[in-house]
Structure 1
């Protein structure tokens, strides 16, 4: 389409005007306009910046809320007010887009670390949020780390849409938000889709890259083994993740976390406690109903959603009598969103242009950004301190000769003359002279001079420190690393998503109906944590050149204190000894498989679910090998000891291995040799060690014999067995408290002593004192004996710090800051 030039004469009438019409090629015009539109969508709307991981609308929301003072320690305000402020000042693209972005940043099931603290209905996986006039919001604590130091020239500011205000071009971002929270967006001709990750793991990788700029992908993946989704679940297969981290593109499958439980006495069911990322329960229920109606699913009797605020997600799928729960679960994985795919396409803006980035590149862009932020902040602080030092030096000159200063000012005709004469007489700068003229008389005291001299000395020390920091690139990188570590300690949480190369967790597989799986019988190590989590780690095959690598201690998380560990194979039956004296047979084949380089027992399943113990109060005390010729040593709360002969196992799924008296229970169980030592620790702080050979093995129906002589009202709190060559490296950890205090309220005192401090005594004696009680203490609440170092956990599974080893066996303890719920050994 084209139009000819045409000139309209002024004689055509009073309303006539001269117009210039140019011929334009439609294809050229469309191409240019479309490119401008595409660039606007890519740069200004759809893609996040690789430095702070935010799209422009998200960045503007956080910045404007920061300017409004909506901090976590202040009250919430109407979301509509925030939307109006952002739209009126910074983002002219409409209130719907602003509110949608704001809602997403407040949803804990969408972001791994939410940036906005929402109050009201901000939606769910199945329903949208309420209108902005009904909800309230303020910044979450992690958002302050994204926006801090904006007033210290750490980033560039650019004009807003009408050039009346300015806004940050990028936020300082105290942590790698793009990797932590992920991103999704559809631009013109490209899209981005990135999975959330664990904050602690990502920061660990960033710190490693700061210390080792040439770090490889394999090295970084030891810190970031895979995504960590907000809703948990299980990631099956890690090959796609490795591709995504290498090229920026890849895919992986996520599966729900499902346990097989007894719904009634005769009916089993599948209980879903975690769903794949962004999959809601209503969507799962709808797909199950569609599958049943279309005959794609069979064996399902009903579906009930028991989700609530207390227990969280709980979707119960009833199984018809005669159907295998394992087979039904496999059907559900194929037909419903209980298994879902996630495609990674890591496209982000780098230097204003879209790029597809792998893990190394993403972390490098962030690290470079953070180094620049800290460098600019340091330079800014240095400049401000130099300016202040300049003024303080001028004030000191004025105070030293205050009478002459006053005389000069009084003899001057006006301010300009006073300023000029001060500069000439006292050799001051114009800035110093101006500051002296504005000085209040109350500052001209002897104490003010002392204060100024103190301030000057402090400024000189700070200036020296800042100059040294700016002069060393390594010092800047070290400071960045230290600040990242502080963020990790403050906002870090345990991993929620289980990573496995094998099939996903089918927790709670019945011991009576072990599923037949087409898997190889490979060496494995089964871990049971002191908080009741169980998982396995596949070990190298015999003859492999690879060596086993266990995750370093500083990267472990909750639930990582080990109660019992057993080397076996994936399809070999092993036993679980409970506090009720039962031994339950089971196979570890369906346990969650943890990567050897990232063992986090929080990702395991609850052993009570795996063994279908339910809520009966029965607890697993130890794992034992059924094919071993070593006897199992048992210690009970009433001080009974028993060794069970291994050739007396009953051919049953579960059976009794000790006849307990009324009110008694098994405190500990361990499999050992004849020359081991058995160890009791009682609540009255008495410890007894004696040879295992003094306890003759008995049949499984026997009741045992006297192990330790207990004092009045005392009970056994810990029992174990130590090999003869392990005593030298063993420690005894004890925690004392008052019996009259409420459980979980008194941290008490802790002591760690070498096991060799305690002499051996005969069986059925009282032992020796292991802890001297302080005032208000009269009982040992927790005790543990084993290879150093001891690892303590709180009731909820959080790591606790114990005193150093070296205290005398009968010494008093050191007061603790927090309650310790259990003690165990480390992973390895």
Structure 2
């Protein structure tokens, strides 16, 4: 038999390579960790997006899924993103798409979802059942992406390109927050209010050396999509300083009569990412284990029309405030949020504070606008070059036609045109492609007009590139436009926990998150104090002692013991600018006048009590007025007034002033016998109440208008009327003007009263601190007759055209910022029509 051939060696691609196991594990794990950190879990600090989110928005933009186009199946979006840009599982892509569309997760949703995109207690429907398109704010993230504003990189298979970052016209990372778990690190960032963040970014643009304290005057804290309250601001300040911190979120509740003889606790806003079913399950569990007592039942009445509404029945004989304190302690009605601002900066994971986050975005936006400006400048120079060549050709059009007709081919014609008319090759090509209809006289005029417009645009673009201040102004204007278009009022109330357990509202801001939310009849402060103190005990009775109810310029309400008036002097405390004080008793009632002309009864007992300090008490332990009075979401409380008994005509009339220049005094004793709210003035369409107080016949009434006019006259000239009357003319308004402030000043204190006016431009973003302020004694303004135009109160500086804020009252005047922090006012100016002094800081209220 023939000798067998030697075995064939295996191919080289099947060779077994021996590798040390620890080395292989180390290498593989590092590659995996790198992939998770940089390509999955952490957002970029510039546009605030993870790679999958960025790819979703970019691909939807390329698909033309804009807000004015119909929705398409989510499966189609997921398929295109997975096939073109993101070679990972479709489940992960769909989950990212769903999060971008959830209004309870995102403060400013970027995807407009149609269908079941889930809730806090349940997941979304399958992608084949839902539809999606871009939401309007998402267009601000992808705007100008085709104008060389950002760098592009190849996709996973090198067949397409994708942006490394989006242009991002607003600070998306701060506005919408982020969460993600990487390898060895994680990120957890809360959402913020767009208007506040943009104001801080604009301030940083104008003042690159701004401190963290200055920026926190614009961004006092997170603004959660569901509203609610944040308790304890020390953790927020620490997070804004170091990038790490912790705060507690608390549900918004009010105590109501759910039946004629039974009280209940109504939850209208829940902590961030806490669902009703989770709360109900925990309540049932703690009731079964005897940790909670006094609860009869829990009903979830949440719907799309009225928003969140959990009704918790309280047994007769139990104090609802004590039950609420226990609910906060034992259920998710109070939850914690740990801030960990980890994000990618220049490809490296870093932990950033508020100033660093804003600085990264501002630098990114400056780069985007600069690159866009260079791109547009190049395009306009190219067009200008072509227009100039076309104008040369039209002037000698006959010779141009002769040259073209005598040429053998296009290349020859191009060469001869360049030689004869001294044209460039692009100009010659453009002339060869010229349509005959462009040879009319009208077209020449159009070309000359276009040439002039191009020259002006080129000069403007060159000026932006050559002047950094113009570049910063351009970025600032664009940020202001985005905030004006998409900005919404703050939803979350900020409470600062004091050492004794008292709560303090940061700035008095906080609008309801949903319909019917925000109003509260409960004695919330007592429950909050008991919760923080850890006792859970609330006294069942309170002595009916004399007290005074105070309203601050930032919207806080509190009471102080004693019948004596609150002194007008005192230390510089937070929230110490008072606009109203009413003498009453602890078990009495006061009236809260809203800008819609309603008087809402408010229980004095439900207002938190603050101690009398040397001088004026600080309202740092107060509660927002809208949480203590049953007001609608779009109503604003403008003042507190005493409530008399029906038929008792011995009291002082209530005085009201409206933005339309109407003034009214309400007859004492005209209160209805029943009801907790009633109208006190019949307002004209579009009119709103701007001032409410009490005015005797001997008092002086003062009205200040937006065009800087001041009128004062005797209150006796306004006869008291019934509740249904519409008042009478108070001041004659010029076209476009409105009343911005009113006051009632006792005649014996006229010499101590002052007028504070704040002027600014009509297009200024609120809270930016621009404009000027002036303080003038009231007696420098002469008295005039009712229904006249008054006298000028302030001379406008350049860029100012209206008064945005004013206050009249017995001095000294105090101004506060949005966080309740004191703001310095200038010394009084004896000249009534002088110009103001530039603001040192944004002013939110004066008192």
- Normalised by the length of structure 2, the TM-score is 0.71
State how far apart, in whole Å, the 1-side matches of 2:781 and 2:721 are: 20
Matched, 1:231 2:246: no
CA deviation after TM superposition for structure 1 residue 34, in Å: 1.0
Aligned partner of 1:633 among 619, 643, 652:
652
What is the match of residue 759 of structure 1?
Answer: 785
Do residues 526 (structure 1) and 551 (structure 2) align? yes
How far is the alpha carbon of 1:50 from its aligned partner?
0.2
What are the superposed Cα offsets for residues 169-207 of structure 1, whole Å, 9 maximum, x if unpaired? Answer: 100000000000000001111100000000000001100
Distance 1:689 1:211 in 2: 43
SS at match of 1:12: coil
| Residue 243 of structure 1, aligned match among 235, 238, 260 | 238
TM-aligned CA deviation for residue 585 of structure 1: 3.8
Aligned equivalent of 1:565, options 573, 580, 591: 580
| 1:42 is the counterpart of 2:61 | no
- Between 442-451 and 19-28, report the one with greater CA deviation: 19-28
Q: Which residue of 2 aligns with 1:185?
A: 180
What is the aligned partner in structure 1 of residue 816 from structure 2? none
Structure 1 equivalent of residue 422 of structure 2? 427
Secondary structure in structure 2 of the residue aligned to 1:174: coil
- Find the counterpart in structure 1 of residue 387 from structure 2: 392
Alpha-carbon deviation of 1:264? 1.3
Partner Cα distance (2:553, 2:459) in 1: 53
Pair 1:576 & 2:595 matched: no
1:86-235 matches, within 5 Å, as 86-235=81-230
Aligned partners of 2:360, 2:584: CA distance in 1, in Å? 44
Query: Contact 2:193 / 2:223 at 8 angstroms: preserved in 1?
Result: yes
**CA distance, structure 1, for counterparts of residue 373 and residue 486 of structure 2:** 25
- CA distance in structure 2 between the aligned counterparts of 1:329 and 1:526, rounded to whole angstroms: 25
Indicate how the Cα distance of structure 1 residues 56 and 632 shifts in structure 2: closer, same or farther if over 3 A, else same. farther
Which residue in 1 is equivalent to 2:626?
Answer: 605
Q: Per-residue CA shift, 1:351-383, capped at 9, x if unaligned? A: 111111110110000000000000000000000
State which of 688, 699, 704 in structure 2 corresponds to 1:676.
699
Give, in whole Å, the separation in 2 of the partners of 1:41 and 1:522: 61
Deviations along 1:440-480, one digit per CA (max 9) or x if unpaired, are: 22212222222111111111111111111100111101110
In the alignment, does 2:379 pair up with 1:358? no
Superposed, 1:190-589 pairs within 5 Å as 190-502=185-497, 503=502, 508=520, 525-527=550-552, 535=557, 546=572, 565-566=580-581, 575-576=590-591, 585-586=604-605, 588-589=607-608
Alignment of 1:684-763 (within 5 A): 690=714, 707-708=719-720, 715-716=726-727, 721-724=744-747, 725=750, 758-759=784-785
Q: How many Å apart are 1:74 and its aligned residue?
A: 1.3
Instruction: Quote the offset at 1:161 in angstroms.
Output: 0.7
1:35/1:322 Cα in 2 relative to 1: closer, same or farther (>3 Å)?
Answer: same
Structure 1 residues 276 and 56: alpha-carbon distance in aligned structure 2, compared to 1, 3 A threshold? same
Q: Confirm or deny that 1:623 pairs with 2:641.
A: yes
Distance change in 2, residues 1:715/1:105 (3 Å) = closer
How far, CA to CA, are the matches of 2:133 and 2:640 in structure 1? 48
Secondary structure of the 1:117 match is: strand
Residue pair 2:591, 2:641 contacting (<8 A) in 1 also: yes
Structure 1 position 30, deviation (Å): 1.3
**Paired residue secondary structure (2:427):** helix
* Distance change in 2, residues 1:107/1:665 (3 Å): closer
- For the residues of structure 1 that align with 2:217 and 2:466, how far apart are their CA atoms? 33
Alignment of 1:800-819 (within 5 A): none
Contact 2:245 2:338 in 1 (8 A): yes
Residues 827 and 265 of structure 1: is their aligned pair in 2 closer, same or farther, counting only changes over 3 Å? farther
Distance 1:443 1:347, change over 3 A: same
Mapping 1:3-22, distance limit 5 Å? 11-13=6-8, 20-22=15-17
Secondary structure of 2:350's aligned partner = strand
Distance across 2 between alignment mates of 1:632 and 1:115: 55
157-166 or 508-517: bigger deviation: 508-517
Q: Give RMSD over aligned pairs.
A: 4.6
Distance 1:16 1:87, change over 3 A: closer
Give the Cα–Cα distance (whole angstroms) in 2 for the partners of residues 90 and 421 of structure 1: 49
Cα 1:268–1:542 change in 2 (3 A) is same
With over 3 angstroms needed to count, the CA separation of the structure-2 counterparts of 1:160 and 1:669, relative to structure 1, is closer
Asked if the contact 1:634/1:669 (under 8 Å) is kept, the reply is no
What displacement does 1:523 show? 11
Unmatched tracts of structure 2, length 5 or more: 506-517, 534-545, 561-565, 611-616, 645-649, 657-662, 682-690, 704-710, 731-742, 758-779, 791-804, 810-843
Matched residue pairs, number? 681
Cα–Cα, structure 1 residues 604 and 60, in superposed 2: closer, same or farther, change >3 Å? farther
State the SS of the aligned residue for 1:605.
helix
Offset at residue 576 of structure 1 (A):
3.0
* Alignment match, 2:539: none
Measured in 2, the distance between the counterparts of 1:403 and 1:28 equals: 80
Pick closer, same or farther for the CA change 1:524–1:621 going to 2, 3 Å: closer
Is residue 30 from structure 1 mapped to residue 25 from structure 2 by the alignment?
A: yes
Rate the CA distance shift 1:245–1:544 in 2: closer, same or farther, 3 A: farther
Listed as ranges, the gaps of 5+ residues in structure 1 are 1-8, 552-561, 645-655, 681-686, 695-705, 732-753, 761-767, 772-784, 790-824
Deviations 1:72-110 (A, max 9, x none): 111111111111111111111011111100100000000
TM-score by length of 1: 0.73
